[in-house]
Structure 1
Amino acid sequence: MKPAIVTIGMFDGVHLGHHELVSQVVDRARSLGLRSFAVTFDPHPEQVLYPERKLTYLSTADERRLLMQECGIDNVWVCPFTIELARLEPEEFVRLIVERQPMAELWVGADFALGRGRKGTIAVLAEIGSKLGWGLHVVPPYMLEGQVVSSTAIRTLLAAGAVRGAADLLGRNYSVSGEIEGDELVVDPDRALPRPGLEYDAELRQDGATSELPVTVQPTPGRISLERPAPRGNGPATLTFLRRVG
């Protein structure tokens, strides 16, 4: 199998910082006549390693795959994250990926690390790359108006009800998918939602049709009240948060 330009990360939310990294990977691959390949994980490593922290996520594995492909990535591997995977030493972890897709180069963010106890730091990865015959490229943090763009920053903004601020870092409005049940949209309880108890203007998409309506995020995880009936009734739907009301 021909080697590829590879990037590894959680890519939760596929925000502007991820876009920058992925764009560089895609450009590099095309300049060398190679394919681009991204590795992401499901579930989120923190949900496996530290379940007591109750981390909420910004995007499902399928959403991440689609968003990264829209950025131009040729292939996305959603690697199942398990305790056994977390216990691998850095070189073992890398060899697992190389078995799936040989690497010409590995591109990662500046704070990236992998393997047992996050021992696979940038310095360690550079040594492994030298040993195994691939190059390492490190992309610095992406800044927007003096702020580092990160998934954590987006979760913090959502928790404060600042959906416009979250949209600025994502590069798009924040959306969630679930099932309409009566006057509620029900989503995964582990999905990150804007601050409960506040009203938001939102766009509801069902069967290709869209409509705007006010919604209120409930204190119960995964529950969003629709202030008007869903035009198509019960069933799958996607809700995009446009702005906070008031």
Structure 2
Amino acid sequence: MQVWNGTAEVPADLGPTVATLGIFDGVHRGHQVILGSTVREAEEAGLTSVAVTFHPHPATVHHPDRDVVLIASLTDRLERLAATGLDAVLVLEYTLDFARTGAEEFVRRYLVDALRASLVVVGEDVRFGWQNAGDRSTMQQLGRAHGFGVRIVTDIASPATGRRWSSTWVRELLATGDVAGAAEVLGRPHRVRGEVVHGQKRGRALGYPTANLRADDLGLVPADGVYAGWLIRPAHAPADGSSARLPAAVSVGTNPTFHGVERTVEAYVLDRTDLDLYGEEVVVELVERLRPMVAFDGVGPLLEQMARDVRDAADVLGGAHHADRTG
């Protein structure tokens, strides 16, 4: 998949396209329906499929005082967009000046002039242009005026709950630590990504060396607790393109037993004490919450619980090998 950072990178010889647009935060199941429709329409017509997305998130530009954290980093968003089969993504820098672009000017400048859209695929709730004045009806009117078709994809809801797939739903689930529920909405496990930094080295002293990541620099981190998950080393991916995935028990919180104050994400790779991950960018996928974060009365009870956490994580992850440390 090609990534174009701004219209200047769009090839001059680009032919007609099938385009869609959105922030696509998380690229959840609802997004996947729209993106899948875009890809199919393009394949059937022999055209190029393109998604227009924005960075940073508009909310962070309009409300810098609010604590808005994306479900997925731009890197992960682009990876997930590529997984849908798109041919290209146009990333537009979102600024206050950009936000003043009117609905018709936006369509003309980006969909018509830059992408030569033959068809635009959008969801029922699409909004675009200054103060979100453009909606699906506006897009249809502009399509008739500028000579492109418009396909409206109806909202798709969870068959289990009837609730519409949405980024808001993902955020609600992660706020309670329900990463398994979030995975149902996302269509895959939620992940955070960051650089491994030096911590207090308490895990190593206790026999459970962890990869430490600062929780304020990773993306949307779920509620404090202990999770079963996978540590992925993108830089060490095998030649066949698969990920270097290692089973892990993941702790999210401030280490209350030791009266910590900094919130961190710490991943212990099951039965591995030989890994040197400092300075490496890793991805942590969170599969299931094992328990909430609690303060223990000393190191002894903590070690007993950590041994149980490792066994529980291995069970959740399909029997991943682990050492029995109960002695």
The 2-side partners of 1:236 and 1:148 are apart by 34
The 2-side partners of 1:164 and 1:157 are apart by 9
Q: Contact (CA 8 Å) 1:61, 1:78: kept in 2 or not?
A: no
- Find the counterpart in structure 2 of residue 232 from structure 1: 276
- C-alpha offsets along residues 120-151 of structure 1, whole Å, 9 cap, x if unaligned? 11111211111111111111112112121111
Q: Shift in Å at residue 212 of structure 1?
A: 2.2
The 2-side partners of 1:41 and 1:67 are apart by 15
Cα distance 1:230–1:50, how it changes in 2: closer, same or farther (>3 A)?
farther
Secondary structure of the residue aligned to 1:181 is: coil
- Find the counterpart in structure 2 of residue 56 from structure 1: 69
Correspondent of 2:116 among 102, 111, 135: 102
- Give the residue type in structure 1 aligned to 2:70: Y
- Give the residue type in structure 2 aligned to 1:21: I
The 2-side partners of 1:87 and 1:244 are apart by 43
- Find the counterpart in structure 2 of residue 168 from structure 1: 184
Q: Contact (CA 8 Å) 2:51, 2:89: kept in 1 or not?
A: yes
Residue 193 of structure 1 pairs with residue 221 of structure 2: yes
Q: Contact (CA 8 Å) 1:56, 1:190: kept in 2 or not?
A: no
Q: Contact (CA 8 Å) 1:203, 1:241: kept in 2 or not?
A: yes
- Count of residue pairs brought into register by the alignment: 245
Q: Shift in Å at residue 7 of structure 1?
A: 0.2
- Give the residue type in structure 2 aligned to 1:18: H
- Find the counterpart in structure 1 of residue 89 from structure 2: 76
Instruction: Identify unmatched segments of 5+ residues in structure 1.
Output: none
TM-score (norm 2): 0.70
Cα distance 1:230–1:163, how it changes in 2: closer, same or farther (>3 A)?
farther
The 2-side partners of 1:11 and 1:112 are apart by 12
- Find the counterpart in structure 1 of residue 137 from structure 2: 123
- Find the counterpart in structure 2 of residue 156 from structure 1: 172
The 2-side partners of 1:232 and 1:170 are apart by 31
The 2-side partners of 1:112 and 1:44 are apart by 16
Q: Shift in Å at residue 190 of structure 1?
A: 6.7
Residue identity over aligned pairs, in percent, reads 31
Relative contact order, higher structure (CA 8 A, sep 6+)? 1
Cα distance 1:53–1:203, how it changes in 2: closer, same or farther (>3 A)?
same
Instruction: Identify unmatched segments of 5+ residues in structure 2.
Output: 1-13, 199-209, 238-243, 255-260, 292-327
Residue 12 of structure 1 pairs with residue 29 of structure 2: no
- Find the counterpart in structure 1 of residue 240 from structure 2: none
- Find the counterpart in structure 1 of residue 311 from structure 2: none
Residue 31 of structure 1 pairs with residue 35 of structure 2: no
Q: Shift in Å at residue 62 of structure 1?
A: 2.5
Q: Contact (CA 8 Å) 1:178, 1:188: kept in 2 or not?
A: no
- Give the residue type in structure 2 aligned to 1:37: V
Secondary structure of the residue aligned to 1:22 is: helix
Q: Shift in Å at residue 222 of structure 1?
A: 6.9
Q: Shift in Å at residue 188 of structure 1?
A: 5.3
Q: Contact (CA 8 Å) 1:86, 1:116: kept in 2 or not?
A: yes
Q: Contact (CA 8 Å) 1:16, 1:171: kept in 2 or not?
A: yes
Cα distance 1:223–1:214, how it changes in 2: closer, same or farther (>3 A)?
same
Which structure: greater strand fraction? Answer: 1
- Give the residue type in structure 2 aligned to 1:225: E
- C-alpha offsets along residues 181-240 of structure 1, whole Å, 9 cap, x if unaligned? 1341235537111112x1111211233443222222226787313356682331221111
The 2-side partners of 1:68 and 1:201 are apart by 26
The 1-side partners of 2:219 and 2:74 are apart by 12
Q: Contact (CA 8 Å) 1:176, 1:187: kept in 2 or not?
A: no
- Between 80-89 and 64-73, report the one with greater CA deviation: 64-73
- Find the counterpart in structure 2 of residue 211 from structure 1: 246
Q: Contact (CA 8 Å) 1:177, 1:187: kept in 2 or not?
A: no
Secondary structure of the residue aligned to 2:25 is: coil
